[in-house]
Amino acid sequence: MQNKLIHGFHAVSTRIKRFPDSVVELYVNAARLDQRMRELMKLAEAQGTKVVLVDEKRLDGLAGGGRHQGVAASIDAGKSYISLDDVLDDLSEPPFVLVLDGITDPHNLGACLRVADAMGVHAVVAPKDKSVGINATVSKVACGAAEVMPYVMVTNLARTLREMKEREIWIAGTAADAHVDLHHFTGGTGPIAWVLGNEGEGMRRLTREHCDVLVSIPMFGSVESLNVSVATGIVLAESRRQRTMATPKG
């Protein structure tokens, strides 16, 4: 069993609703038994989850000093595994995927998952090496998105990109030196996977070579770069806009 700890009301409640059998124990601040918390406890107990009342100090320790909002949970991460094929095989619309190459900051990953969920992305893909996994900080920052957004960590990212191409998914990488800018890129309506690298080095060379097209984000101010979660939000929102505009009004 791959136990790990998550905290924060959104992260915990979403996990219980999405993967109830993965929640091993629920830890609740005994001093905060308001209606919202009682409903969460009732939901957990209905799923057969053990509820443990603890004090604030115990929760502070479990959450590692993070803002836990009076609740934390021990989960079996192995029971929420999903493969990219599982996701793609079940779609009734063109695939919309986010690939994160080398994101190691949990705050950035949490923010990326949150915006991916908001823009209707079907899955987020990342290499297992040099990438952060779903931990308590990621879950907290994502505000529940980490518990509903399929986060697929793959052993060989280049091979996964090739497999997506075999499914006719267009691989679009972001790069400052690209010859096409986002405002003139019209490929967002079909099957697409957006690839973003880390802020320091960008995409790795092999990842870049597997992209079908490189796209830059137009910059009109004095700053030369964007936080990866901000850049993610910009490209995903543009693809979502194109998809919405291309859909006939019913």
Which string of DSSP letters, residue by residue, matches 108-130?
HHHHHHHHHHHTT-SEEEEESTT
pLDDT band at 6 (very low <50, low <70, confident <90, very high): confident
217 is in an annotated binding site: yes
pLDDT at residue number 79: 62
- Structure confidence at residue 141 (pLDDT): 81
Tell me which of 10 and 103 has the higher pLDDT.
103
Q: Is position 110 annotated in a ligand binding site?
A: no
Domains of the chain: 3-79 (3.30.1330.30), 84-246 (3.40.1280.10)
pLDDT at 229 (0 to 100) = 95
Query: Please, what is the average pLDDT of the chain?
Result: 88
Q: Which of 48-57, 87-96, 144-153, 164-173 has the highest mean pLDDT?
A: 164-173
What is the residue whose two structure tokens read 């690298």?
Answer: 197
Q: How many CB atoms lie within 10 A of CB 196?
A: 26
Question: CB-based contacts of 144: which residues, under 8 Å, 6+ apart?
Answer: 10, 11, 13, 14
pLDDT of residue 173 exceeding 70, the answer is yes
pLDDT value for 143: 75
d(CA 70, CA 91): 37
Higher pLDDT pick, 106 / 193:
193
Q: In the predicted model, is pLDDT for residue 11 greater than 60?
A: yes
- Strands 3-7 and 71-76, by their bridges, are antiparallel
| Cα separation, 74 vs 235, whole angstroms | 35
Question: pTM surpassing 0.75?
Answer: no
Could you read off the pLDDT of 76-120 as tens digits, one per residue? Answer: 866 656 678 878 887 889 999 999 998 999 999 999 999 999 999
Q: With 80 as the cut, is the pLDDT of residue 249 above it?
A: no
Instruction: Specify the pLDDT at position 113.
Output: 93
Tell whether 64 is in a known binding site: no
Tens of pLDDT, residues 17-70: 877 888 899 999 999 889 999 999 999 999 889 999 999 999 988 887 777 889
User: How far is Cα 42 from Cα 61, in angstroms, rounded to an integer?
Assistant: 24
Give the whole-number percent of the chain exceeding pLDDT 90: 55
3-state secondary structure of 91: coil
Q: What is the pLDDT of residue 196?
A: 97
* Residue 203 near residue 175 (C-beta atoms within 8 A): yes
Asked which of 31-35, 212-216, 222-226 is least confident by mean pLDDT, the reply is 222-226
pLDDT score of 204 more than 80: yes
